[in-house]
Amino acid sequence: MIEVARRTWRLLEPYHGMIYFAPEAAAAYGELGLTGRAGYFASRSAALGVVPAPVVVATFYNFNPDLVRESITAAWSTTDPGAVLAARYAAADRALRGALGDAIGSPELHRAAALGREAAETIAGDVAGRPLFAAHAALSWPTEPHLVLWHAQTLLREYRGDAHVAALLTAGLSGIEALVTHAASGAVPAETLRTSRSWSEEDWNRAVAGLRERDWLTGDADPTFTPAGAARRADIEKATDENSVAPYAHIGEPACAELQELVRPFSRALAEKHMPWALARQ
């Protein structure tokens, strides 16, 4: 079931993830006066309400804390969580309509929304140790099917994300060390991870050196896993999968397979328009 769950989550991910790249989102946040990265941090943490900056730093585990602190302080001195949440859902609506067209009203999307919601609602009370999931699970469900599916995948994504942070912490990795090990896996280039999370080269090199000393990495110019490091990273992924399987196990493998087939064309259309690098996962 774990492989089925991972595959279902991965196929659905562009349906939610497009919100971080769609110009409709940047425009909506800009109308509220949010510039730079403030829109990202405010929109994803708005469900928490106005909380002290360190709370947002804690939940955005692998980002440079200075970036998070500056962004969220600027955001809540400019607007409020309710306005940001409204802007986020409006942007999701526009982006989905723009990419999916007439499929918005299709029976296939209605069915996918029903399955996604069923999966997400089974874990609504499983909030212990999952702050971002808990905050989003407390929000009201939208009514239109294309937004129901988007909200469902938001919940499933944050549920998994909180589990992943717990696994990384248990493995003794800091936020930047988690990024370095992600780069060592070959999934995403190191420079992309470093710059997108606003870490300096000095910070990155220090983290690499520390992981090399702890027998996670080997090599200088392009560090790779030692056998021990590869095993530890595999354990992290295994723990993440095991602690994220519940909603998919509830609806069962046949429903997961159906959801995968239903959502594949939607995710592909969204990835083609907003996240072309994600097409290899489809």
Radius of gyration of the chain (CA): 19
CB atoms within 10 A of CB 73: 15
Neighbours of 201 (CB within 10 A): 10
Helix (H, G, I), strand (E, B) or coil at 51: coil
Contact indicator for 25, 43 with CB cutoff of 8 Å: yes
Mean pLDDT of the chain: 96
Please give the model's pTM, rounded to 2 decimal places.
0.95
Q: What is the pLDDT of residue 282?
A: 57
Q: What gap in Å lies between CA 49 and CA 81, rounded to an integer?
A: 6
pLDDT band at 31 (very low <50, low <70, confident <90, very high): very high
| Cβ 178 vs Cβ 61: under 8 Å | yes
pLDDT digits (tens, 9 = 90+) for 232-248: 999 999 999 999 999 99
